[in-house]
Amino acid sequence: MTLKTDAVGKEWPATTYEVGKEKIGEYARVIGIENPVHFDREAAKAAGYRDVVAPPMFCVVYSAPALGPAMFDPEVAMNFAAMVHGGQEFVWGEPACSGDEITTGAKCLQIFEKDGKGFYVFETVSTNQDGAEVVRGTWTNIVRGV
């Protein structure tokens, strides 16, 4: 079977997420990070941050919502029953701090077949209210038996 590749290059509408202090703390606690810059405003400011700062991997909280419509797009036609999250890359820029408004756009980079599996590669780019890039994510989903 040939994989449908019509969606390569397609972009989806951006989503916006406002970062909150307590949400950062909730995420940091689950991962077990104890650095006070994630919980305490004064500690964050003393370390040179504008406000309580998010751990780098908090980026999943604000960037993943942009990916939803891409993953469920019938033009992408990904078979969820046979899908696994195969790989992930993030490249960080400006730190994400409490009060930031982060806008994330999603794009389909690649769809290809290898060893009987379908590879669906998406990119998300997140920028803050000042237009600075906060994180760039590359999400690889693998579908068995295409």
Partner 1 sequence: MAELSAGEQIAELRVTPDKYLPHRYAGASGDFNPIHIDPEFAKAVGLPNTILHGLYMMGLVARASAEGAGGGDPRSLKRLSVQFRGMGAPETEIVVTGTVKSVEGGRAVIDVVAAQGDNQTIRNAEAEVAL
Q: Which residues of the shown chain bind partner 1 in the complex (CB under 8 A)?
A: 23, 26-27, 29-33, 35, 37-38, 47, 53-57, 60-61, 64-65, 81, 84-92, 95, 138
Kindly tell me which of 4 and 55 has the beta carbon lying closer to partner 1: 55
| Closest of 100, 101, 96 to residue 38, by C-alpha | 96
Provide the minimum distance between the beta carbon of 58 and partner 1 in the complex, in angstroms, as a whole number.
9
Provide the minimum distance between the beta carbon of 119 and partner 1 in the complex, in angstroms, as a whole number.
12
Provide the minimum distance between the beta carbon of 145 and partner 1 in the complex, in angstroms, as a whole number.
13
- Judge residue 33's burial from the number of C-beta atoms within 10 Å of its C-beta, 0-12 exposed, 13-18 middle, 19 or more buried: middle
Kindly tell me which of 3 and 33 has the beta carbon lying closer to partner 1: 33
Kindly tell me which of 61 and 146 has the beta carbon lying closer to partner 1: 61
| Closest of 140, 139, 143 to residue 83, by C-alpha | 143
Provide the minimum distance between the beta carbon of 6 and partner 1 in the complex, in angstroms, as a whole number.
26
User: What are the residues whose beta carbons fall under 8 Å from the beta carbon of 138, sequence distance 6 or more?
Assistant: 87, 88, 89, 90, 109, 121, 122, 123
